[in-house]
Amino acid sequence: MSENSLEKTMKALVLEKPAPVESGPLLLCDLPVPQIGEEEVLLRVRACGVCRTDLHIVEGEIPSHLLPLVPGHQIVGAVEEVGEKVKDLARGALVGVPWLNQVCGSCRFCQEGKENLCENALFTGYDVPGGYAEYVATSREAVYKLPAGYKEEELAPLLCAGVIGYRAYRMSGVKEGDVLGIFGFGSSAHLVAQIARAEGVEIFVFTRSPEHQRLARDLGASFVGRAEDHPLRPLTSAIIFAPAGNLVKNALSYVERGGKVVMAGIYSTPLPEIPYSLLYWERSVKSVANSTRQDVRELLDFAQKFHLEVKSEVFPLAEANRVLRLLKESKIKASAVLKPQP
C-alpha cells in the first residue's frame, strides 16, 4: 500500500455494542482505509446488501464475535488494490464477497467438503469487517467473480439471500412438478421463488404482509395466504425464511409424507411443542448453516444462465439504522441495498 493511502480515511458504520435498532446502534465514523496483507484484496464498496442476519447481529440476538464491528456480508466492490500473492484479479474488476469468508481447511468438516460447518470459520461482517463502509479488505479466497447483466444493487442480494436461499432450496429436495411451500417472503424468498419456477416447481407462499403477498403472486406463486391458511394441496417440502419457530408446526402439518421442512435463518424464536404424528411418516426438520463455496459458485452460475429479477431498494450508506428498522418492520419489499456513493 502506498504511503498516501495510509492517511486516507473512509466512512463506515460501526457497531460498538448491540442494541435495539430503534436506538440507532450503528455509528457513522471516519476510519482509516484498511491496509491489505499479501493474500488480500482491497475493494471499493459499490453496494452492500442488508441481510436479516445483520439485524440479528446489531440487536444481539446472535452473540457478538468482534466489537467494534463494521457489519455487511453481501458486498459488491471494485478491486482497488491487490496483495503481492494475488495474481488473478485486475484493478477495477467488479467482484463479490459473501458471508463465508475464511475456513481452516483442516477440521473434519472442511476435510469432508462441508466447510459451511467449519469449526474455525470466519464470517464477513461478523468475525472480520464487512461492507457497510466505503472500503473493505478481504482475503482473496472470499472474492468471487460476478455474473454479467446485473446492476450492482441487483448483484449484492445474490451473495447471501441468493446463496443461502439456493442452499435451502437444494436441501428441500424438490424437483419438477413438486410443490414447495415458502414461509416468509423477503429478499431470499423472492429469489428462491424464481429458481423454483425456472425448474418447474410450483410454489405456495405463506406471508402476512399484503405487499409481500402481491410480490409472491407476481413471481408466479399459485397459492398465496397466511401461515394459518390451509393450502389446497399438500406441500412436497417447505422452507421457512421468517425467524418464527411456531411456523414449524404449520409447515409440518402441510407437508406430505417424507417432506422436508428447511429452516433458512441463522436465528429463530423457540420451536413449539408438536405432536409426534406431525413428524411421523419420515417428515424432517432441518436448519441451513452458512454455505459452501460450491453453493456460492452454483448460485452465481444459475444467475448467469437464468436472469433473476432482483427487486432491490437502494439507500445511502448513512441510513443503515433506518433500513434495518424497515427490515424489522417488514417494510422492505424484497431486498435492501446500501450504496456509499448513490
For the CB of residue 283, give the shortest distance to Zn ion in the complex, in Å.
27
Residue number with CB closer to Zn ion (47 or 179):
47
For the CB of residue 230, give the shortest distance to Zn ion in the complex, in Å.
31
For the CB of residue 43, give the shortest distance to Zn ion in the complex, in Å.
18
For the CB of residue 249, give the shortest distance to Zn ion in the complex, in Å.
25
Site residues (CB under 5 A) for Zn ion? 51, 53, 103-104, 107, 110, 118, 160
Distance CA 204, CA 253 (A): 14
Residue number with CB closer to Zn ion (160 or 248):
160
**Cis amide leading into 157 (omega within 30):** no
Query: Which amino acid is located at 260 in the chain?
Result: K
Side-chain-side CA neighbours of 93 within 13 Å: the count stands at 17
Residue number with CB closer to Zn ion (118 or 143):
118
| Distances, alpha carbon 214 to alpha carbons 168, 316, 326, in Å | 23, 26, 18
For the CB of residue 151, give the shortest distance to Zn ion in the complex, in Å.
20
Q: How far is CA 217 from the centre of its chain?
A: 22
Residue number with CB closer to Zn ion (28 or 104):
104
Q: What is the DSSP letter of 233?
A: S
Distance CA 19, CA 69 (A): 13
Percent helix, strand, coil in the chain, to 5, is 30, 25, 45
Residue number with CB closer to Zn ion (1 or 107):
107
Which set of grid coordinates corresponds to residue 80?
482497488
For the CB of residue 118, give the shortest distance to Zn ion in the complex, in Å.
3
Which set of grid coordinates corresponds to residue 72?
455487511
Residue number with CB closer to Zn ion (277 or 294):
294
Distance CA 55, CA 71 (A): 10
